[in-house]
């Protein structure tokens, strides 16, 4: 059962998330360019907001502040996504998702985005209909925990106890690989995000692709996820 990351794996928003967070920190705290020194790849939204607070204000956000910021972030993100002139899908994503829809009954998401942000991005990309469940940054600020949540929901969707190795995390960062390893899942690393193919190789993913074009051949070689249709 596949669990796809979103940013850098399926799509890039062209900075919509960063623009929205910068706006948020400027309005709420008078902090300009909060995202300037933050590399968001593979991090949960919670971690990203905390990093902005530490860089800009030298303090941690309280859980109430995080909740309030996320609530204010979502409409700003949706507005940015509507503009987003640099929004784009990663290469071969539509063919890959069409293939996955053929071979798997259920397909999941495993992303550091809070659920509302994940849905806004997938809707903008017209990809939302491909996914049946997920683990999100709103389930846990810690990536292995949200992957574990995705696996639990995947098992509920399948209605049976799938082994950990039946799950395949697909992601573009070292965080995706580490989280999958921690959960006993397989992991395909795809070098379409900000992490180089060499750096991804160092983290020993089960497979390493330049783009998602390589997924169907890998799938046929390895195993019949979900037992097919
Ligand atoms: Mg990513």
Dump pLDDT digits (tens) for 185-219: 999 999 999 999 999 999 999 999 999 999 999 99
117 pLDDT tier (thresholds 50, 70, 90)? very high
Averaged pLDDT of the chain: 95
pLDDT band at 14 (very low <50, low <70, confident <90, very high): very high
pLDDT (0 to 100) of residue 40: 93
Q: How far is the CA of 58 from the centre of ligand 1 (A)?
A: 26
Q: Which helix H or strand E contains 110, and what residues bound it?
A: strand 108-110
Tell me, in angstroms, the distance from the centre of ligand 1 to residue 172's CA: 5
What confidence tier does 225 reach under pLDDT thresholds 50, 70, 90?
Answer: low
Q: Confidence band (pLDDT; 50, 70, 90) for 223?
A: confident
CA of residue 83 to ligand 1 center, whole Å: 21
With CA atoms as reference, report the closest residue to 202 among 180, 222, 182, 173. Answer: 173
Mean pLDDT of 29-52: 95
Task: Summarize the confidence of residues 73-96 as an average pLDDT.
Answer: 97
CB 117 within 8 A of CB 74: yes
Residue 175 Cα to ligand 1 middle (Å):
8
Contact 113, 123 (CB under 8 A): no
- Residue 73 near residue 193 (C-beta atoms within 8 A): no
Q: Is 83 exposed, middle or buried (0-12, 13-18, 19+ CB in 10 A)?
A: exposed
In this prediction, residue 224 carries a pLDDT of 61
Dihedral class, residue 163 (left if φ above 0, else alpha if ψ from -120 to 50, else beta): beta
CA of 9 to the centre of ligand 1 (A): 6
CA distance 109 to 156: 14
Residue 39: which of 72, 6, 15 has the closest Cα?
A: 15
Question: Which residue is it, tokens 């903008």?
Answer: 124
| Structural domains of the chain in order of their starting residue, each with its CATH number | 2-12+88-227 (3.40.50.1000), 16-83 (1.10.150)
For residue 228, the model assigns a pLDDT of 45
How much is the pLDDT for 67? 96
Instruction: Return the pLDDT at 47.
Output: 96
Predicted TM-score (pTM) of the model is 0.95
């Amino acid at each position: 059962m596949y669990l796809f990351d979103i940013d850098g794996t399926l799509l890039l928003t062209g900075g919509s998330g960063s623009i929205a967070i910068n706006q948020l920190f400027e309005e709420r705290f008078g902090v300009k360019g909060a995202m300037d020194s933050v590399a968001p790849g593979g991090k949960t939204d919670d971690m990203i907001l905390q990093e902005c607070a530490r860089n800009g204000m030298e303090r941690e956000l309280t859980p109430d502040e995080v909740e309030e910021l996320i609530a204010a972030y979502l409409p700003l993100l949706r507005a940015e996504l509507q503009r987003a002139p640099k929004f784009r899908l990663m290469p071969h994503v539509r063919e890959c998702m069409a293939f996955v829809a053929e071979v798997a009954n259920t397909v999941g998401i495993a992303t550091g985005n809070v659920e509302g942000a994940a849905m806004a991005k997938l809707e903008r990309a017209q990809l939302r209909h491909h996914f049946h469940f997920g683990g999100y940054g709103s389930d846990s600020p810690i990536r292995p925990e949200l992957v574990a949540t995705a696996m639990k929901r995947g098992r509920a969707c399948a209605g049976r106890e799938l082994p950990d190795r039946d799950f395949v995390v697909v992601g573009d960062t070292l965080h995706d690989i580490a989280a999958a390893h921690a959960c006993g899942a397989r992991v395909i690393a795809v070098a379409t995000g900000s992490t180089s193919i060499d750096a991804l190789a160092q983290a020993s993913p089960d497979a390493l692709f330049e783009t998602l074009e390589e997924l169907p051949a890998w799938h046929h070689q390895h195993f019949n996820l979900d037992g097919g249709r």
